[in-house]
Structure 1
Amino acid sequence: MTEALVEAPHRGLPRLRRLFVILLLGFASGLPLALTGGAMQAWLTVEGLDLVTLGFLSLIGIPYTFKFLWAPLIDRFDLPLLGRRRGWIVLMLFALAAALLVMSSLSPSRNLGLFASVAVVVACLSATLDVVIDAYRTDLLQPAERGLGGSLTVLGYRLAMVLSGGITLIWAEQWQSWPQVYRVMASLAAVVGVLALVLMPPLPARFKAPVSKASSEVWGFLALVLGVAAGAWLAHQLLVLVGLDPDSSDRWVRLVFVITQIAAAMVLGLGVTRWVRFETLNASLRSYFGMRGAGAFLALVVLYKVGDAFALSLSTPFLLKGMHFSQAEVGLANKTIGLLMTIVGAIVGGFFLLRLRLSTAVIAFGVLQLVSNLGFYLLAREGAGAWGTVEVPAFNLLIVHLDTPTPMDGLLLFALSLDNFAGGMGTAAFVALLSGLCGTRFSATHYALLSAFATLGRVFVGPFAGVLADAYGWQVFFLVSVVVGMPGLLMAWWLRREVDATTRVVEAG
Structure 2
Amino acid sequence: MTKKSFKQAILNKRMLICITTGFSSGLPLYLLIQFVPAWLRAAEIDLATIGLINLVLFPYTWKFLWSPVMDRFVLPFFGRRRGWMFVTQLGLIALMASLAMFNPAEQLTQIIILVSAISFFSASQDIVIDAYRREILPDDELGAGNAFYAQAYRISSFVPGSLAMILAGFFPWSVAHLSIAVFMLVGLVTTLLIKESSKEGDAPQTLRSAVIEPFKEFFQRTNWQDAAWILLFIIMYKLGDSMATALETPFFMDMGFSTVEIGSIAKVSKTIGATVGTILGGLAMIKLGINRSLWIFGGFQIVSILGYVVLSMVGYNHLVLALASGLEYLGVGLGSVALIAFMAKSTNKHFTATQFALLSSIAVIPRTFVSATTGFIIESVGYTQFFILCFVCALPGMFMLVKIAPWNGKQDPIEENTKSE
TM-score interval, normalised by the smaller of the two chains: over 0.9
Quick check: 1:358–1:503 contact (8 Å CA) kept in 2? Answer: no
Alignment equivalent of 1:79, drawn from 50, 75, 83: 75
TM-score (norm. length: structure 1): 0.77
- Distance apart, 1:85 and its partner CA: 1.3
What does 1:174-253 correspond to in 2, within 5 Å? 174-175=170-171, 177-198=172-193, 200-203=194-197, 205=199, 208-212=202-206, 217=207
The one-letter amino acid of 1:370's match is: I
The one-letter amino acid of 2:275's match is: I
Alignment equivalent of 2:289, drawn from 357, 367, 377: 357
Alignment equivalent of 2:335, drawn from 422, 426, 433: 426
- Distance apart, 1:280 and its partner CA: 2.4
- Distance apart, 1:79 and its partner CA: 2.1
The one-letter amino acid of 2:15's match is: L
C-alpha distance in structure 1 between counterparts of 2:27 and 2:65, whole Å: 23
- Distance apart, 1:101 and its partner CA: 1.6
Alignment equivalent of 2:213, drawn from 245, 258, 283: 283
Alignment equivalent of 1:56, drawn from 52, 57, 62: 52
C-alpha distance in structure 2 between counterparts of 1:181 and 1:326, whole Å: 16
Residues 37-86 of structure 1 show CA distances to partners (whole Å, capped at 9, x for unaligned) of: 11000000000101111111111111111111111111111223422312
Q: Relative to 1, partners in 2 of residues 1:361 and 1:110: Cα closer, same or farther, differing over 3 Å?
A: same
What does 1:435-450 correspond to in 2, within 5 Å? 435-450=344-359
Q: Relative to 1, partners in 2 of residues 1:37 and 1:60: Cα closer, same or farther, differing over 3 Å?
A: same
- Distance apart, 1:202 and its partner CA: 2.7
What does 1:306-317 correspond to in 2, within 5 Å? 306-317=239-250
The answer for unaligned runs of 5 or more in structure 2 is none
C-alpha distance in structure 2 between counterparts of 1:146 and 1:111, whole Å: 44
Residues 208-243 of structure 1 show CA distances to partners (whole Å, capped at 9, x for unaligned) of: 11221xxxx4xxxxxxxxxxxxxxxxxxxxxxxxxx
SS at match of 2:150: helix
Residues 1-59 of structure 1 show CA distances to partners (whole Å, capped at 9, x for unaligned) of: xxx9xxx99x9599610011001111111000121111000000000101111111111
- Distance apart, 1:90 and its partner CA: 1.9
Which structure has greater helix proportion?
2
The answer for unaligned runs of 5 or more in structure 1 is 218-277, 386-408
Alignment equivalent of 2:404, drawn from 487, 495, 498: 495
Quick check: 1:30–1:160 contact (8 Å CA) kept in 2? Answer: yes
State the match for 2:274 in structure 1. 342
C-alpha distance in structure 2 between counterparts of 1:210 and 1:97, whole Å: 30
The one-letter amino acid of 2:274's match is: T
The one-letter amino acid of 1:41's match is: P
Quick check: which has more Rg, 1 or 2?
A: 1
C-alpha distance in structure 1 between counterparts of 2:293 and 2:140, whole Å: 16
State the match for 1:300 in structure 2. 233
Quick check: 2:80–2:198 contact (8 Å CA) kept in 1? Answer: no
- Distance apart, 1:504 and its partner CA: 6.2
State the match for 1:261 in structure 2. none
State the match for 1:479 in structure 2. 388
- Distance apart, 1:320 and its partner CA: 0.7
The one-letter amino acid of 1:56's match is: L
- Distance apart, 1:142 and its partner CA: 1.3
C-alpha distance in structure 1 between counterparts of 2:94 and 2:326, whole Å: 34
TM-score (norm. length: structure 2): 0.93
C-alpha distance in structure 2 between counterparts of 1:490 and 1:56, whole Å: 30
State the match for 1:31 in structure 2. 27
Alignment equivalent of 1:131, drawn from 124, 127, 130: 127
Residues 192-213 of structure 1 show CA distances to partners (whole Å, capped at 9, x for unaligned) of: 3013321x2332638811221x
State the match for 1:325 in structure 2. 257
Matched, 1:117 2:113: yes
C-alpha distance in structure 1 between counterparts of 2:269 and 2:239, whole Å: 25
State the match for 2:89 in structure 1. 93
C-alpha distance in structure 2 between counterparts of 1:126 and 1:52, whole Å: 24
Quick check: 2:240–2:392 contact (8 Å CA) kept in 1? Answer: yes
Q: Relative to 1, partners in 2 of residues 1:202 and 1:506: Cα closer, same or farther, differing over 3 Å?
A: farther
Q: Relative to 1, partners in 2 of residues 1:505 and 1:149: Cα closer, same or farther, differing over 3 Å?
A: farther
- Distance apart, 1:382 and its partner CA: 2.1
Q: Relative to 1, partners in 2 of residues 1:344 and 1:89: Cα closer, same or farther, differing over 3 Å?
A: same
SS at match of 2:28: coil
The one-letter amino acid of 1:135's match is: A
C-alpha distance in structure 1 between counterparts of 2:217 and 2:75, whole Å: 24
Quick check: 1:89–1:132 contact (8 Å CA) kept in 2? Answer: yes
C-alpha distance in structure 2 between counterparts of 1:195 and 1:444, whole Å: 19
C-alpha distance in structure 1 between counterparts of 2:179 and 2:159, whole Å: 11
Q: Relative to 1, partners in 2 of residues 1:341 and 1:100: Cα closer, same or farther, differing over 3 Å?
A: same
The one-letter amino acid of 2:241's match is: D
RMSD: 2.2
Aligned-residue identity in percent: 30
Q: Relative to 1, partners in 2 of residues 1:471 and 1:88: Cα closer, same or farther, differing over 3 Å?
A: same
Alignment equivalent of 1:469, drawn from 367, 378, 395: 378
SS at match of 1:354: helix
Quick check: 1:313–1:461 contact (8 Å CA) kept in 2? Answer: no
C-alpha distance in structure 2 between counterparts of 1:507 and 1:51, whole Å: 48
